Amino acid sequence: MNEAELAMENGEQTHRVLSLLGIARRAGELIFGQDQVIGALKKKKRLFIVWTADCSQAVIRKIEPLLEKRSISCVLKDVSRENLGRSLGVQCAQIAALPVEGGFAKKLTELLHSGGRCEYE
């Protein structure tokens, strides 16, 4: 599994990441919620997965075994379930994913790498 942790230095970068995820949802590209993400992973889809800082260990334990080396996960250290949910138009969300090959995932990668805030293992 490729994993990254992101500590966003200022609110502007956090806002840009959450806005991009909201736009991806409205465009129908974002997968969010543990059941939907698990379903996509079982179909062997390559995903860029975003976890919130307060994502439950139960969800992490369910999803980690399904991750392949081709999928990427990133922990947003400064984002809570409520913050992510609000940006997606729901009460709360702790995990979301984008297809790796899509333009939204590429843009998200660029945002996370700006300022050297994202490191992959």
What residues does each domain of the chain span? 2-113
- Its pTM stands at 0.83
CB neighbour list of residue 23: distance below 8 Å, 6 or more residues apart: 104
Q: 35 in helix, strand or coil? A: helix
For the stretch 106-121, pLDDT in tens is 999 888 877 444 444 3
Task: Note the pLDDT of residue 1.
Answer: 40
List of E strands, 7-114: 31-32, 47-52, 72-76, 95-99
Q: Domain 2-113 adopts which CATH fold?
A: 60s Ribosomal Protein L30; Chain: A; (3.30.1330)
